[in-house]
C-alpha cells in the first residue's frame, strides 16, 4: 500500500468498513453491525415464517422483508467483490477478483443470496435462509470467541480417547439394556418393546434421562432392569462431564504455566 496516500481512496475506505480484519478501531464497523443484525433478523423470519398461522396473516410482510434482505445482501456482495482487490491475499485485477469469488467466504455469501432466486420459483427456501446464520462468523470479528472455541476443541481433543471410551460404554449399555427389555417386555408390550430397535428408543430416552413417558416397562422384572438402566444413565452423564472438567482444568493450568515461563524468561 502506498503510505503517501493521506486520503485513502473510496474503495479502500469501503474495504476498511466491510472487512472486519482491516477495521482498526474497537468493535465492529457500523456497516457490519447492520449486516449482522439483518442476518439474525432474516434467519429469525425464516424460522417464524414456517408457522402457518403467522405466515398466512403476514404473507406480504414476510415476502417484502425477504426481498429487502436479499437486496441488501446482493449490494453487499457486489461491494465486497469491488473492494476485494484491496486485500493483498487475493491480488489485483480480475484474477484477484476471481480468486476471491471462489474463496469459501465468498461462496458462503453467494449461497446466502440463493433463497431469493428460488423464491421466484416458489421452492422451500427456509433451510438456505437459516444457513445465512453462518455468515455471522465472517462478518463479526469473533476473536475472543473463536479462541475460546479453540480452547474447548483442544480440551476435548486432548481427552478424545477417554471420551471415546465413554461413548463405547454408552453404546454397550444401550445394546445390553434394549436387548434385555426386548426379551422381558417384548411379549407384553409388542408395540414398544417388540424388537431391539424399538427397545432402543426407550433405552436412549432413559439413559439420557429425558424420559418422555411414551414407553416404559410395566412388568416387575422390566422395571428393575429399567431402574438399573436409569442409574447407569447418571454414570453416562457423570463420566464425560468429569472428563471434560478435568480437561478444562488442565488447559487453564497449562496456560498459566506458559505465562509464568514467559515471565521468568530473561529474553
d(CA 77, CA 82): 9
Smallest separation (angstroms) from a second copy to the CB of 132: 11
Cβ closest to a second copy, residue 16 vs residue 204: 204
Contact 39, 70 (CB under 8 A): no
Measure the CA angle with vertex 158, ends 157 and 162; round to 5°. 90
Rg of the chain over all Cα atoms, to the nearest angstrom: 27
d(CA 136, CA 134): 5
Q: Would you give the DSSP letter of residue 187? A: T
Per-residue cell: 121: 420459483
Smallest separation (angstroms) from a second copy to the CB of 76: 23
Cβ closest to a second copy, residue 18 vs residue 128: 128
Smallest separation (angstroms) from a second copy to the CB of 254: 9
Cβ closest to a second copy, residue 97 vs residue 151: 151
d(CA 24, CA 88): 17
Smallest separation (angstroms) from a second copy to the CB of 53: 8
Smallest separation (angstroms) from a second copy to the CB of 99: 30
Cβ closest to a second copy, residue 103 vs residue 130: 130
d(CA 55, CA 45): 10
Cβ closest to a second copy, residue 7 vs residue 191: 191
Amino acid at each position: 500500500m502506498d503510505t503517501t496516500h493521506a486520503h485513502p481512496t473510496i474503495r479502500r475506505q469501503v474495504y476498511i468498513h466491510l472487512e472486519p480484519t482491516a477495521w482498526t478501531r474497537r468493535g465492529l464497523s457500523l456497516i457490519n453491525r447492520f449486516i449482522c443484525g439483518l442476518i439474525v433478523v432474516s434467519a429469525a423470519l425464516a424460522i417464524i415464517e414456517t408457522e402457518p398461522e403467522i405466515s398466512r396473516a403476514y404473507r406480504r410482510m414476510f415476502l417484502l422483508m425477504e426481498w429487502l434482505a436479499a437486496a441488501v445482501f446482493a449490494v453487499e456482495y457486489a461491494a465486497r467483490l469491488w473492494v476485494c482487490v484491496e486485500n493483498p491475499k487475493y491480488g489485483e485485477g480480475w484474477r484477484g477478483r476471481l480468486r476471491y469469488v471462489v474463496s469459501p467466504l465468498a461462496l458462503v455469501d453467494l449461497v446466502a443470496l440463493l433463497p431469493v432466486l428460488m423464491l421466484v420459483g416458489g421452492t422451500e427456501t427456509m433451510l438456505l435462509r437459516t444457513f445465512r446464520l453462518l455468515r455471522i462468523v465472517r462478518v463479526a470479528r469473533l476473536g475472543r470467541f473463536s479462541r475460546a472455541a479453540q480452547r474447548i476443541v483442544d480440551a476435548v481433543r486432548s481427552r478424545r480417547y477417554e471420551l471415546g471410551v465413554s461413548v463405547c460404554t454408552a453404546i454397550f449399555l444401550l445394546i445390553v439394556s434394549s436387548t434385555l427389555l426386548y426379551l422381558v417386555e417384548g411379549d407384553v408390550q409388542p408395540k414398544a418393546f417388540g424388537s431391539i430397535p424399538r427397545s432402543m428408543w426407550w433405552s436412549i430416552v432413559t439413559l439420557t434421562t429425558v424420559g418422555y413417558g411414551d414407553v416404559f416397562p410395566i412388568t416387575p422384572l422390566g422395571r428393575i432392569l429399567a431402574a438399573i438402566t436409569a442409574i447407569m444413565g447418571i454414570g453416562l452423564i457423570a463420566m464425560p462431564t468429569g472428563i471434560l472438567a478435568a480437561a478444562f482444568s488442565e488447559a487453564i493450568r497449562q496456560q498459566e504455566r506458559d505465562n509464568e515461563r514467559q515471565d521468568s524468561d530473561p529474553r
